[in-house]
Chain A
Amino acid sequence: MEIKLSDFKKGMKGKIIDVLENPVSTKLAEFGILPGVAFSILNRAPFKGPIFIQIDNNRIALRFKEAAFIVVE
């Protein structure tokens, strides 16, 4: 089964493999969330709240639902 960004815990590092087609896929691409990019999880808000990731020098917060479209390893 594919692992999603939303499955990762705080402090984990990984690489984005694919971004599944979804209503906000353009927006994700625009924020540099693209296949091949390395990331680390800086923080996760409780109760499936937003996820705070770092890509390059960029700190981005996104919702759990959006993170579920991002396939990672």
Chain B
Amino acid sequence: MWADLVFLGQIAVKSSVAVALAALGELVAERSGVLNLGVEGMMLMGALAGFAAALTTGDPWLGLGAAALVGAALAGLHAFFAVALRANQVLAGLALTILGAGLSSFLGRSLAGQSGPRFRPLHLPWLSDIPVAGEIFFTQSAPAYLLYGLAPLLWYWLFRTGSGLRVRACGQGAASADAAGVNVARTRALCTVLGGALAGLGGAYLSLSYTPGWATGMTGGQGWIAVAMVVFAAWRPLGAVAGAMLFGLFQALQFWFQATGQELVPAWLLRMLPYLLTIAVLAVVQGSPSLRRRAGAPADLGRPFAREG
């Protein structure tokens, strides 16, 4: 029983690191008021850049660095359109996804099918030996540990520091933030770029750890799940990570039940659940303005800011 639980937990965590990292990134951008639907494209480019850099240098850590840079650069493009030019954020984000998918497919031709360095499960002294929890969370690869560190750090930054407050102010009421002396455009641009870096890391987790190697379109829609996860988690960092792991658990359970031959919960239900939950949360959040406010949806999300109005 415990062994089964540990095993399921391990798979749930392992399969959700990429989504969790990307969701954290999207969360930062959205908290500042920028909706970036280019997550899937940034993840793909991150996956490619990460694998390419690791393959050339032999060091997966340099791969992670390259992925973050490439993700950040693409997000910079989004920031240019969404913040500097005040273009429609939905369209700019979709364009970024299409660009990332096409460009990574084109640039990755020669890398497809090659084997390179990868992150392997890393045993941490003491932590990995904690029964159940330690076995689930601390038998993962290095990027997962990076995630464990980043999530509370981002929470602390957003909710307990002055600069975090300024970020949230840009998302909540850009005009007020501006009146209070916050440089809205710069804050939003920086948050978007940071978000892109995290999406890049998420992509690189796939190409360097979970499904090592490069394959066209290898993110398979995880970027979109990350976008949904931000809403699902009501724009809270720890919620986004927990949500990603919950979704991972649904998938692991779906296969698990089939493999054991005891379908306590039907596979089709588990397959639908992530989407049903997201729709439910979305409906609740959108349907009731007061709940939406309480849930923490940035009021100025997706609205370009211009001082003259």
A binds B: no
Q: Which residues of A contact B (CB under 8 A)?
A: none
